[in-house]
A and B are shown apart, each in its own frame.
Chain A
Amino acid sequence: MQIIKKIGLFIFLMGLTIFTILPFVGEFKVTSATLDQIIMDKGIASEIFVQGMKKNVVGQEFHGMLSLSPQITQILETANAQHRENKEYKKVIYTGPHDMAATVGKASGTGFIVENKGLMWFLTFGLGILGSLLFIVPNIVLLGKKGIKNNGIYHANATNRGWIAWMVFVFLVSFYLVLYFRSEYAVNWTYLVDPISEFLSGNPAGHWFVYGFMYCTVMTVMAVRMYIKYRHNMYQMVRTTSVLFFQIVFAFLIPEIMVRLQMPYYDFKNAFPLDYDFFFQWNLKSLLNSGGIGLFILVWGIILTLVIVPVMVYFFGKRWYCSWVCGCGGLAETLGDPYRQHSSKSLFSWKVERWLVHGVLVFAVGMTLMTLYSFFTESGTVLGLKTQSVQNTYSLLIGAFFAGVIGTGFYPIFGNRVWCRFGCPLAAYLGFVQRFKSRFRITTNGGQCISCGNCSTYCEQGIDVRAYAQKGENIIRSSCVGCGICSAVCPRGVLKLENGPLKGRINPTEILLGNDVDLMDLVNKK
């Protein structure tokens, strides 16, 4: 069994290595037909750019994106600078230099990778999936009898912030930086999943399709790990299945199929304000121009946030969204599960959390109000602030850095819910409802707590669960996403996630159950 695991690890690392090398290799040959097509698609009016491209790029062969990308970005930036100086604003190209490099690159790839998409898919994704399954599945036997299997988590390098964890950190952060800011380096990855994308939506894959496909793949493989690790715990089994279903069907398949059907790309479960650009002008326009389905999405999006989300939180707590439906939560609960113990439980972190998460909520709502004001009044500024720049700032700082680079990249060091805990505006909104008007609570079982600290250690949201449990107090914290792990790891059966009447949800805690009936009376009379 150990040998199978080692072989699996080796195969996985091979796949990962090939995947990591891909951005740096490959042949690109830009033809004049390709350039003409891009000029037409993008409506490029800059003759400086066109000439620059013809002179330095067209007809030449480039080995690897590292040699192609600087050419294109430089030509584009030079052209734009020139046009701005000459005040020829109509000739300025608003496609970002790196997006332009990605567009050109995608249309110009030649050679082995492009000609062997299936084989290359197998050598990257295929080996990755195969290797990790070989690494994970033997645990059915190796973990022994079913039950909580946390042995050695704090002895293992990868799960105790050792060098492996730091390597994973660097890899994930780099991956997200490429995705958000240097998408031209993802071009070779897009070829691998072109067949899948063409099958689903009819279009070749972009780098976000790579990400979506990879997201689903990683979640599925790591869900297998969850199924094995928590096979004694039906709550975890059901929850994992749910979150996987919503990711694959709602976040991945349905939007792609909608594109094939000439409908707008939309993830029906992605609620505003997590879906922060829902009310952005381009999205509203696109929805309003898409006929019945567009209007339906618009109404659905508004009802989802204003009615469905709070009503569901009232009945089930925010867990119905955060750990049963949400994509961010889905990745955290599968890929992130081995790192859940790293979320800080200090009071200081809790303070930071409240300022940050509510700050982002205010930011998101404020930005959206500006956006809507601008949309209806057709004015580009609100109180002297440019709506567009506020949106860009949010997209960059919150959308890209916080949710993406930090949110997932920091898993191995700061735990798997950094974004959900400190940044997600939807979580902040759901949290208010959960804290003040919800049937959900984690019930503490009388006086059974022995203060061991397993619950706090494994709380991914950094809640000091033990602080409540040892006082006999129910846990009704706004940040709780109801993953159920505190209840699972408790050796004494103290914690239970449940939905019950509001009465009795917040319980008296002066004296714990079991201690002296008279004192209990005294407390109850207060």
Chain B
Amino acid sequence: MEHIVIIGNGISGITAARHIRKLSDKKITIISPESDYFFSRTALMYVYMGHMKFEHTQPYENWFWKKNRLNLVNAYVTKVDTANKTLKLKSSEDIKYDKLIIASGSKSNKFGWPGQDLKGVQGLYSKQDLELLEANAPNNEVCKRAVIVGGGLIGIELAEMLRSRDIPVTFLVRESSFWNGVLPEGESQMINEHILEHHIDLKLNTNLKEIISDENGWAKAVVTDKGETIQCTVVGLTAGVTPNIEFLKGSGIELGKGVKVNTFLETNIADVYAIGDCAEQHKAIGNRRPVEAVWYTGRMMGEVLAQTICGNKRAYKPGHWFNSAKFLDIEYQTYGWVFSGKSKNDQEQHFHWRHPVEKICVTIAFHKETKQFLGINTFGIRMRHEILDRWLTEKRNIDYVMEYLKDANFDPEFYAQYEEDIVSLYNSLYGANITPRKKSWKRIFSNT
């Protein structure tokens, strides 16, 4: 029986394993040193905040693995011997494989800051990071202040976590406005305001220079490039993640930033594949990045690779870009591409609407000349994935999107609807005369 070995029990590795099991009877082994069972990494924050217990982050009950003959090994892979198809494990016997799937995920970026390895300095990625944070910052008696370095999604999550225990937080953001490498100006500005509303000390245009140690090797303060020294107990380094591939060096597997793969997720070595955060496409797919550290792309790569491994060879073809996040109390969704200041080209035009009082806004990107709908960002409004995906495929123009915007609303029942306001602003800005149509189930289900 063919033996499939998967390094990593995150969303990509587990999805691959589950789908291989659905499609075949192959022997499957999953190796991870992080946790005995698969858990949802994205939910770690809720454990610290007391919304959930760790066991709630595990999507499958513990009996699931044995029942589905998914052999779990809690061990650390030190070396991959591709010539002999063997994995060397730390303090455990070697494992031989017929096919190997590398799904080893990411690790937090460290950019060589002085003091980055002091005690009390940590990232937020793994289960161990969560345990460390629980030890470093159990309450605001032990942790008088935390400084977070890096204004991305993990940074703001970490800030929210610490604030849930009333720990004072200083948030150092390199950019002139929060996440404005990704978000257009109006949206980024709104999030800046919301961060301040949560009593987070947001310092824009500010870089970390060094972390200062106390006599016991614990961080006691950070120095910024503005010359400011901030006393603190914990330093959170959240300046992005990078593929976790050190153990592959010297294995003969081609590495770049991540494990180099083609669209079939194959590496340069036969029977070795890479999926999820650690995989790097030779050539970026569409506007996507070559390394995509996103939950659902990991899942999709797992689904696709399972097909290939079970004799149904398929390329990884992610459809239209979409994503979502939550900035403190504000939900964010995006479908298609809405580029921000720097990366936006001249042909991309933005229509922006913001609620006069509430923290709700919408940005729609469209082509200046053809008026083709390129993408949408919404804050505080939920959108229907299926509809927007269809509009992008059908290359609808912005007028069409405006007219049928109500079909795409996914907010809970009885919520205030803003389509009328949005369209009326659009009409006045662009001299259009569009009347939004009533939501229609017939249209929503038209292609199922």
Contacts and interface: CB of A to CB of B under 8 A. Distances in A.
Interface string B270-282: 0000000000000
A512 B50 contact: no
B303 A515 contact: yes
B50 A515 contact: no
Given A447-B385, A453-B43, A514 B445 contact: no
Contact of A452 (B42, B53, B303, B329): B42
A518 B303 CA distance: 14
A153 interface: yes
A504 B386 CA distance: 12
B42 A514 contact: no
A151 interface: yes
Given A346-B61, A452-B40, A501-B445, A514 B389 contact: yes
Contact of A513 (B52, B386, B441): B386
Given A447-B385, A498-B413, A519-B314, A145 B329 contact: yes
B443 to A, nearest CB: 12
Contacts of A518: 317
B319 A487 contact: no
Identify which of B11, B40, B384, B412 gathers the most chain A CB atoms within 10 Å of its CB: B412
B299 interface: yes
B317 A516 contact: yes
A514 B303 CA distance: 12
A150 B331 CA distance: 16
Size bin of chain B's contact surface: 35 or more
A234 B414 CA distance: 6
Interface in A495-517: 496-498, 500-501, 503-504, 507, 511-517
A122 B48 CA distance: 42
Contacts of A456: 56
A491 interface: yes
A144 B53 CA distance: 23
A491 B303 CA distance: 24
A504 B447 CA distance: 10
Chain A interface SS verdict (over half): loop
Nearest to B47: A154
B331 A466 contact: no
Identify which of B61, B325, B382 gathers the most chain A CB atoms within 10 Å of its CB: B382
B71 interface: no
A497 B197 CA distance: 31
Identify which of B43, B51, B319 gathers the most chain A CB atoms within 10 Å of its CB: B51
A347 B51 contact: no
Contacts of A237: 414
B389 A235 contact: no
Nearest to A500: B441
Contacts of A443: 410
A457 interface: yes
Contacts of B61: 346-347
Interface in B357-387: 382-386
Contact of B324 (A147, A155, A448, A515): A448
A448 B317 CA distance: 17
Contacts of A154: 47, 50-53
Identify which of A148, A466, A492, A497 gathers the most chain B CB atoms within 10 Å of its CB: A492
A71 B324 CA distance: 70
Interface string A406-447: 000000000000000000000000000000000000010111
A304 B207 CA distance: 68
Size bin of chain A's contact surface: 35 or more
A484 interface: yes
B154 to A, nearest CB: 14
B295 interface: yes
Identify which of B314, B324, B330 gathers the most chain A CB atoms within 10 Å of its CB: B324
B165 to A, nearest CB: 8
Contact of B331 (A457, A493, A497, A517): A493
A448 B385 contact: yes
Interface string B293-318: 00110011001100000000011111
A447 B11 CA distance: 13
A493 B56 CA distance: 19
A492 B164 contact: no
A233 interface: yes
A282 B180 CA distance: 73
A457 B317 contact: no
Nearest to A458: B51
A496 B382 contact: yes
A346 B64 CA distance: 11
A518 to B, nearest CB: 7
A147 B326 CA distance: 11
Contacts of B90: none
B412 A153 contact: no
Contact of A450 (B40, B329, B333): B40
A445 B50 contact: no
Nearest to A499: B413
Contact of B384 (A445, A447, A484, A516): A445
B448 A504 contact: yes
26 contacts: A150-B46, A150-B51, A151-B51, A154-B47, A154-B52, A234-B414, A443-B410, A446-B384, A446-B389, A447-B322, A448-B333, A450-B324, A451-B295, A452-B57, A453-B56, A496-B412, A498-B413, A500-B445, A503-B448, A511-B303, A513-B385, A514-B318, A514-B322, A516-B304, A516-B314, A516-B316
Interface of A: 144-148, 150-156, 232-235, 237-238, 346-347, 443, 445-448, 450-454, 456-457, 466-467, 470, 484, 487-489, 491-493, 496-498, 500-501, 503-504, 507, 511-519, 524
Given A453-B40, A512-B300, A516-B319, 8 more contacts: A145-B198, A150-B50, A152-B49, A153-B50, A492-B333, A516-B300, A517-B317, A519-B304
